[in-house]
Structure 1
Amino acid sequence: MTDALSPAGDRWQLRFERRLAHPPEKVWRAITEAQHLNRWYPFTAAAIDLRVGGRILFRDEEGTELHAEITELVPPKAFAFTEHDEETGVHELRLELEPDAEGCRLIFTHTFADDTWAAQTETGWQHCLDALTRAVEQVG
């Protein structure tokens, strides 16, 4: 397990690395299919148009909508999207899967403009990635 915050040009990046005991194809479903994504991601995916340029509509517990655009889609290797938040700006999220002998390695990066809330965000993502590990178990 590797977690790190570092500068990324004029922005900041949180990078997480996890080893998962499942093949990339199974993890891919957990990160791109709404019924599985909703088990670990901090917002509910109300709609996903799974293609580069496609939109993802997320909703939080209060019903506030958050819009994202898919920027990379290389099954079962890479899934990336940008979220547009009125308060905190543009967030770039990328999930990369690399096969290994025991399943795969997940590399998750979150790039954003302001590091003032990075510690809180890091803790939140750690919980989400723990939930992802459990969510993959439920993928058929």
Structure 2
Amino acid sequence: MEISEEALVPAAPDRTWQLVTEPRFFQQWYAFGGAEIELAPGGAMVLRWDEHGGFPARVEAVEPGRRFAFRWLPEPGDLVEITLSPQAGATSVRITESGVLEDAATSAMAWRNALSLLVELGRGD
């Protein structure tokens, strides 16, 4: 199964890349309890939420300015791909999650909400 959500972030691709890959920003739009990201293929990740705890993941792909992908652990966890496409004065961000997706509707809603926060964060420049 696969879900996909997309939004236009009002920031340049370089800035948007920072927002989606740097832990201090990632926690502002998705992992509100904190994020650890070793930004290299095979790198370790831990995403936290105060109400849910920490969730380990592994970085699968890093294409600076274009694509960041990670897989929830344990194997074979769902794959999350974040792709960036430059637009006039902004960046289109698409988040695709594929795999078993225990609750696809909830996952899609969570990514929609996260993207709306990412858009707001992009406006902060």
Percent identity (aligned): 24
1:35 paired to 2:21: no
Cα distance in 1 between the residues matched to 2:62 and 2:87: 20
What runs of 5+ residues in structure 2 fail to find an aligned partner? none
Aligned to 1:124: 110
Aligned to 1:97: 84
- Structural RMSD (CA): 2.1
* Contact 1:45 1:58 survives alignment (8 Å): yes
> Could you tell me how far 1:50 is from its partner in structure 2?
1.0
Report the 3-state secondary structure (helix = DSSP H, G, I; strand = E; otherwise coil) of the residue aligned with 1:124: helix
Report the 3-state secondary structure (helix = DSSP H, G, I; strand = E; otherwise coil) of the residue aligned with 2:28: coil
TM-score (structure 1 length as normaliser): 0.79
Aligned to 2:100: 113
* Contact 2:10 2:122 survives alignment (8 Å): no
* Contact 1:80 1:94 survives alignment (8 Å): yes
Runs of 4+ more than 3 Å apart:
42-46
Q: Counting strand residues as a fraction of each chain, which structure ranks higher?
A: 1
How many positions carry a matched residue from both structures?
Answer: 125
Aligned to 2:54: 65
1:14 paired to 2:31: no
> Could you tell me how far 1:97 is from its partner in structure 2?
0.6
> Could you tell me how far 1:42 is from its partner in structure 2?
3.8
Aligned to 1:77: 66
TM-score (structure 2 length as normaliser): 0.87
Cα distance in 1 between the residues matched to 2:59 and 2:34: 13
Superimposed CA distance per residue, residues 29-69 of structure 1 (whole angstroms, 9 cap, x where no aligned partner): 00001110001114534422111110111222147321111
Where relative contact order (Cα < 8 A, 6+ residues apart) is larger, the structure is 2
Partner amino acid for 1:30? L
Partner amino acid for 1:132? L
